[in-house]
């Protein structure tokens, strides 16, 4: 009787082993995602991976092996890194071991950052599933399309910052002068940056919080940011990208709408990125930062062609900010054309980088 029971158990185990070997891989579901698609340099990003078992049998051994982008910095403890990562020839890989109960789900998280501007993509992953007896394993592989874009840092170039500060200060003064205090278009909440004369005390009393008047402008202040990349070295263009970021951040803080042109190899979510219509706000800013993060350090057009495109779309009342690698004497006629187009003094910001800068 005992022998018969043992034989039945052995037969059952063999049967389950045969079923497992054929079906286990097909019952595992894998999904990995990042918590953001655009980040600052050194900003901590979270990757969340879900592993689900849709079968009635447990998965006693599951090993997840994910190729990680080059340049990644794992923001975990040394013990965690030693246990859950492997060093490869040119990059790193995560290496998680776990088990998953029947109809169960496991959640894994990893925190990391990147120091340099660029687009980083997680590529191949492999999932190894061990059988019930630990005799053999089965592998499932695939390609992950999760990616994150790291925007450029702000510039620290004192010459560029001084020139930009003077230009924006002049722009702010002109905006104050040209504001028409007669025609009020509406009201909005007080942000702390508006002059006291703009506060509507009647609207403030009605609403119970500070409101300012929105005036019509006899001459609305607008800016066009132009990024030239022709004849720039890699380090020059990296510095230009930083300057563009700083320019746009300051324009955002001043609530000055801005348009963008470039002859650089920038790429947005929908492809090639050579122009962005005038606008303002977080989405406008982040769209441009995404394109700068994905940019290659090369030019796809001439400086002269860039100027011609800007002239074709020229709008009245627009001041031009030209961000460019060091210029030559041959570029002077093009610069003069930009100066003629600009409503106020043309602002030229030169990006001259250091080697191995990114």
List the domain boundaries for the chain.
Answer: 26-150, 158-350
Q: What is the 3-state secondary structure (H, E, C) of 273-326?
A: CCEEEEECCHHHHHHHHHHHHCCEEEECCCHHHHHHHHHHCCCCCEEEEEEECC
Mean pLDDT of 4-11: 64
Phi, psi of 90 (to 5 degrees): -115, -10
Mean pLDDT of 118-141: 80
Per the structure block, which two tokens stand in for 284?
Answer: 């406008």
| Cβ contact 127:61 at 8 Å | no
Look at residues 48, 81, 83, 87 and name the one whose alpha carbon lies nearest to residue 67: 87
Judged against a pLDDT cut of 90, whether residue 296 lies above it is answered with: yes
pLDDT tens across 153-183, in order? Answer: 999 999 999 999 988 887 766 554 444 444 4
Yes or no: is domain 158-350 CATH 2.60.120? no
| Cβ contact 168:252 at 8 Å | no
Mean pLDDT of 292-311: 97
CA 291 to CA 289: how far, in whole Å?
5
Contacts of 291 (CB under 8 A, 6+ apart): 266, 267, 268, 273, 276
Q: What is the largest CA-CA distance in the chain?
A: 104
Mean pLDDT of 186-211: 72
| Cβ contact 85:94 at 8 Å | yes
Q: What pLDDT score was predicted for residue 130?
A: 75
Question: Do the first three CATH levels of 26-150 and 158-350 match, i.e. the same topology?
Answer: no
**DSSP states of 199-248 as a string?**
B-HHHHHHHTS-EEEEEEESS--EEEEEE--TT--HHHHHHHHHHHHHHH
Q: What pLDDT score was predicted for residue 334?
A: 97
CB atoms within 10 A of CB 192: 5
pLDDT tens across 241-279, in order? Answer: 999 999 999 999 998 999 999 999 999 988 899 999 999
| Cβ contact 67:85 at 8 Å | no
Mean pLDDT of 276-288: 94
Question: Confidence class of residue 191 from pLDDT cuts 50, 70 and 90?
Answer: low
Mean pLDDT of the residues in the chain: 85
For a pLDDT cut of 70, what percent of the chain falls above it?
A: 81
CATH topology of domain 26-150: Immunoglobulin-like (2.60.40)
Report helix, strand or coil for 93: strand
CA distance to 18, 57, 323, per residue, from 15 (Å): 5, 13, 71
Phi, psi of 242 (to 5 degrees): -65, -40
């Amino acid at each position: 009787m005992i022998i018969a029971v043992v034989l039945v158990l052995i037969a059952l185990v063999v049967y389950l082993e045969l079923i497992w070997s054929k079906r286990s891989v097909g019952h595992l579901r894998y999904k990995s995602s990042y918590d953001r698609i655009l980040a600052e340099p050194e900003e901590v990003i979270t990757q969340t991976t879900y592993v689900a078992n849709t079968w009635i049998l447990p998965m006693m051994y599951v090993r997840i092996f994910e190729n990680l982008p080059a340049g990644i910095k794992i923001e975990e403890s040394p013990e965690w890194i030693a246990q859950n990562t492997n060093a490869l020839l040119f990059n790193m890989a995560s290496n998680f071991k776990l088990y998953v109960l029947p109809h169960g789900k496991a959640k894994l998280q990893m925190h990391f950052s990147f120091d340099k501007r660029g687009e980083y993509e997680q590529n191949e992953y492999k999932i190894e599933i061990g059988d019930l007896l630990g005799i053999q394993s089965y592998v499932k592989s695939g390609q992950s399309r999760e990616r994150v874009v790291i925007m450029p840092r702000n510039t620290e170039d004192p010459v560029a910052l001084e020139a930009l500060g003077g230009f924006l200060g002049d722009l702010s003064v002109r905006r104050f002068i040209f504001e028409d205090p007669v025609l009020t278009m509406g009201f909005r909440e007080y942000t702390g940056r508006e002059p006291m004369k703009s506060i509507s005390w009647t609207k403030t009393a009605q609403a119970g919080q500070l409101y300012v008047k929105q005036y019509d402008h006899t001459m609305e202040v607008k800016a066009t940011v132009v990024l030239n990349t022709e004849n720039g070295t890699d380090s020059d263009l990296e510095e230009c990208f930083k300057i563009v970021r700083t320019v746009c951040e300051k324009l955002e803080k001043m609530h000055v709408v801005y348009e963008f042109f470039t002859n650089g190899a920038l790429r947005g979510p929908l492809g090639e990125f050579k122009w962005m219509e005038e606008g303002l706000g977080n989405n406008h800013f982040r769209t441009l930062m995404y394109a700068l993060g994905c940019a290659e350090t090369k030019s796809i057009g001439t400086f002269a062609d860039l100027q011609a495109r800007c002239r074709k779309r020229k709008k009245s009342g627009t001041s031009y900010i030209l961000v460019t690698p060091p210029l030559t004497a041959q570029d002077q006629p093009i610069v003069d054309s930009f100066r003629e187009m600009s409503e106020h003094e043309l602002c030229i910001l030169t990006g001259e980088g250091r080697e191995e800068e990114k």
